[in-house]
Amino acid sequence: MTELKSFYDGFADALRAPEPDAVPRSFADGYAHRFAIYRNNVHRGLYDALGAAYPTVRKLVGDGFFDRLAQGFVQSETARSGSLALYGAGFAEYLAGHPILESLPYLPDIARLERARLEVSTSADAKPLLANDLAGLEDQLETMILGAHPACQVIASRHPIFAIWMAQNPVNGEQGGKTSIVQRPETLLVTRPYMQVDMRPLTAGQDVFFTSLTQDGLDLGEACAKALEADASFDVMPSFAEFLTSGAFDARFNIPRGNGYDDE
């Protein structure tokens, strides 16, 4: 077992090595070229999988430079999933430590957004909370406790990542003129209503409202109060309706006992 582990470790090290002529120590000289072919095919597959997972990052830097980023990322990995469908976890963190950050400071957050889109598209199915699920519970809404739908993520950035993403991915593929992008922070809700990934920007109040509900465990009344502290213009009714339409909440909600209803 020790010898077998040593072989596999050496094989993996040679695959990740930056030297193009690297081969496992146990390989005979006559097999070096065969390993090189295999190594190139493996790397090409990983580069392509990374490009498929982060298409907007690829557009922003160009195919050639993206391959160089992919090469560095592959060589930096210490572990990876056995499936290429979700390949590329950690790519945003890799970009955050790359010199490209100086010229494209928003690139890691674009990668985080694309990772969220990928994960949301493959997340577990669950029934989203709909408006008709709340029929007859109007008097209990204030004390209701909600959780986020499994196919839901919030991505916050100091950069206008939604505007940048939309400029690179115009609706229906229509290319317009030069897009003017205002430098400002943006927070996005990424969901999967009706089995399609959807993104929509959140105001400061909506961000606090949703986070208070789904991460801090506050009830609707408390979350609303927190949102109003952050944003005096926050309007709970249209915002709550927007979250429901987006499929952002799990249908399994809770109303504490003592309010006329048992836990759902």
If phi over 0 gives left and psi between -120 and 50 gives alpha, with beta otherwise, what is residue 247? left
Contacts of 18 (CB under 8 A, 6+ apart): 75
The answer to whether the beta carbons of residues 46 and 74 sit under 8 Å apart is yes
Q: Which amino acid is at 101?
A: L
Per-residue pLDDT of the chain in tens (264 residues, 90 and over written 9): 576 777 767 777 777 776 766 777 767 666 777 877 888 888 899 999 999 999 999 999 999 999 999 999 998 887 777 678 899 999 999 999 999 999 999 999 999 999 999 999 999 889 999 999 999 998 999 999 999 999 999 999 999 999 999 999 988 756 655 677 899 999 999 999 888 999 999 999 999 999 999 999 999 999 999 999 999 999 999 999 999 999 999 998 888 865 544 444
Alpha helix locations (H) across 124-176? 161-168
Backbone angles phi, psi at 145, to 5 degrees: -115, 125
Domain boundaries, the chain: 1-104, 125-264
Q: What pTM did the predictor assign?
A: 0.86
The answer to whether the beta carbons of residues 201 and 207 sit under 8 Å apart is no
